[in-house]
Amino acid sequence: MYFTSNTVAFLDGEFVPAEQAACGVYAQSLHYGYAVFEGIRSYNTPNGAQIFKAEEHYERLHYSCKSVGLPLEYSVEELTRISYEVLDRNNLTDAYIRPLVYAATPNMSLKVATTSNVLIAVWEWGKYLGDQLLRLSVSPYQRPNPKAVPIEAKVSGHYVNSIIASSEAKGRGYDEALLLDMNGYVAEGPGANFFFERNGELFTAPAGSILRGITRNTIIDLAREAGITVHEQFFTPDELRTASAAFMTGTAAEVIGVASVDDVTFDTPFQQTIGGMLASHYHALVTGQTATRAASFAKQQ
Ligand code: PMP
């Protein structure tokens, strides 16, 4: 699914067959989850393949590296240019792009790495959480304590929390988990941010215990441009009883409606909610159909 015998990946300065891109079992990253990554999408637009918000994603990759002391030798511009080349070499326009910065050196010490490795892989990927409205359940797992780890960085090891939370919710028959922060406020999903609607306004968790999603920021901008008030504030799962609708956002998931959170259901058809409207605005934006906002795309180098 991620690669075939024809797939090309970028690895440490070279374009190589994806099948040959490998990492040894003594790598520090494998033992300690000490790596950072990004999830980016490219869309087929009237101007060809355009990577949505490449600059923001690669700036976040740099921020993530800095947060955990992983060196990153490539600039935002170089990473963007390489990403376009990987897309091109794989004849892909609508694709998911996965950059990974890791420490392949055999090293069992708990010291920051002095060198790093860079993989940029691409593949075709449908909406990560599908197209159906999601039945969420509040997870017994909290988001990691932001005083224990740099939670705003996209660190591989953080995703153990996401894997166990998501699997636990699915094991109980739900589509996805909704995680609370250490104080009992709603934070986000395992791989997407969460919004709810009340009286024509939007609410989402503030920075602190969440990954500040680039899609989240885009949706906040689109909502405010449409004159909708957006509150970034703490709320408990109980407050969702006063909500009329909810949705999740993420690069891989895009914008996806929520049918219910445990026993609280949202009955308005998604298309008639603010989230539904923003989902179509988002689609028009990323596929380059909203000419006035075309500046959001990083220019192809
Ligand atoms: N939260 C988490 C935990 C995520 O993994 C993601 C996906 N990167 C998001 C939120 C959404 O972020 P973005 O919109 O930047 O993809």
- In ligand 1, which atom is closest to the CA atom of 162? 3
Residues paired with 50 in a beta bridge: 43
Residue 287 neighbours by CB distance under 10 Å? 15
**Pocket mutation for ligand 1, best pick of 186, 193, 214, 256 (most atoms within 8 Å of C-beta):** 193
- The catalytic residues are 154
Give the residue carrying structure tokens 């503030």: 206
The highest-level CATH class for domain 134-300 is alpha beta
Q: Which long-range contacts (CB under 8 A, 24 or more apart) does 62-65 make?
A: 63/152, 63/153, 64/36, 64/37, 64/38, 64/101, 64/150, 64/153, 64/154, 64/155, 65/36, 65/101, 65/116
Instruction: Kindly give the confidence (pLDDT) of every residue in the chain, 301 residues in length, as a single tens digit, with 9 standing for 90 and above.
Output: 899 999 999 999 999 999 999 999 999 999 999 999 999 999 999 999 999 999 999 999 999 999 999 999 999 999 999 999 999 999 999 999 999 999 999 999 999 999 999 999 999 998 888 889 999 999 999 999 999 999 999 999 999 999 999 999 999 999 999 999 999 999 999 999 999 999 999 999 999 999 999 999 999 999 999 999 999 999 999 999 999 999 999 999 999 999 999 989 998 999 999 999 999 999 999 999 985 544 444 444 3
- In ligand 1, which atom is closest to the CA atom of 215? 14
Closest C-alpha to ligand 1, atom 10: 192
Separation between Cα atoms, residue 144 and residue 99, nearest integer Å:
23
Q: Ligand 1 mean position to 38 CA, how many Å?
A: 9
The pairing of beta strand 48-51 with beta strand 14-17: unpaired
Separation between Cα atoms, residue 107 and residue 84, nearest integer Å:
33
- Contacts with 175 (C-beta within 8 Å, 6 or more apart), sequence order: 129, 130, 132, 134, 135, 136, 169
CATH code that applies to domain 8-123: 3.30.470.10
Q: Ligand 1 mean position to 162 CA, how many Å?
A: 11
pLDDT for the residue numbered 240: 97
Q: Ligand 1 mean position to 207 CA, how many Å?
A: 13
Q: Where are the domains of the chain?
A: 8-123, 134-300
Separation between Cα atoms, residue 103 and residue 112, nearest integer Å:
9
pLDDT for the residue numbered 299: 40
pTM: 0.95
Residue 206 neighbours by CB distance under 10 Å? 14
Ligand 1-lining residues (CB < 6 angstroms): 39, 188, 191-193, 211, 213-216, 249-251
**Angle, helix 214-225 to helix 54-68, in steps of 10 degrees:** 140
Q: Ligand 1 mean position to 193 CA, how many Å?
A: 6
* 202: three-class secondary structure by DSSP: strand
